[in-house]
Amino acid sequence: MNVKPRNLKDLLISEEQAVDEAMRKAVEQALLTHKRAGNSIASWKDGKVLMIPAEKIPVDEVRVKRHRSDRER
C-alpha cells in the first residue's frame, strides 16, 4: 500500500529514510566486493587512518545476498 505523505515534512522524512537505506545497502555491497577481491579498506579511528585487511572487513554476506534477491523481485 502506497500512502501519500500528509505534508512536505513527512515527504522529506520518508525520502530521507529511503536514501539512508539505499546508502547502507550500497556500503555493505562495496565492503563485500572488497572483501571477496582481497582488497583492504581504509577507515578512521581516533583521528588516524586505519587499514583493515580484507579478512577482517566486517560484513554480513547473507544480508547482502538477501538485499540482492529483494532487488531482483
Q: Does 2 map to a domain?
A: no
The model's pTM is 0.66
Q: Is the pLDDT of residue 1 over 60?
A: no
Q: Does 3 map to a domain?
A: no
Q: Does 4 map to a domain?
A: no
Q: Does 57 map to a domain?
A: yes
Q: Which helix (H) or strand (E) holds 35?
A: helix 8-37
For the segment 19-50, what is each residue's pLDDT rounded down to a tens digit? 888 899 999 999 999 999 999 999 999 999 99
Question: What pLDDT was estimated at residue 10?
Answer: 81
- The span from the CA of 44 to the CA of 51, in Å, is 9
Structural domain of residue 67, as residue ranges?
Answer: 9-72
Q: Is the pLDDT of residue 54 over 60?
A: yes
Domain tally for the chain?
A: 1
Q: Does 61 map to a domain?
A: yes
- The span from the CA of 48 to the CA of 65, in Å, is 32
- For residues 25 and 9, the model is more confident at 25
